[in-house]
Amino acid sequence: MLVEFSLFPLDKGESVGQYVARSLDIVAHCGLPYKVHAMGTVIEGDWNACFGVIKQCFEAMRKDCGRVELSVKVDDRAGRLHRLEEKVASIEHRLGRVLHHA
């Protein structure tokens, strides 16, 4: 399963990078494959693992943020693994070229 999430405080002004960085540190140490992009993070794993990581991130942010926004999007395809890389590779194959991605 792929889970994309975006988590940030609404009560800390315009620059919230220090709060987002704490969540990304949790993700980086969770042991699941992940990709960070400008508007969120995608992690790959089973339901409990993915949502366990999101819960840790949410709880860490709630420690000193009074208002938090969390958006989650799930793509679950039975019997398929390593989709974090495969989905992009499939589109690149169809286009016949490599897409720019971080």
The pLDDT value given to residue 97: 93
The model's pTM is: 0.87
In the chain, which stretches have pLDDT less than 70?
A: 101-102
Distances (CA, A) of 50 to 15, 43, 44, 84: 26, 7, 7, 13
Helices (H) and strands (E) in the chain, counts: 3, 4
The pLDDT value given to residue 85: 84
The pLDDT value given to residue 13: 93
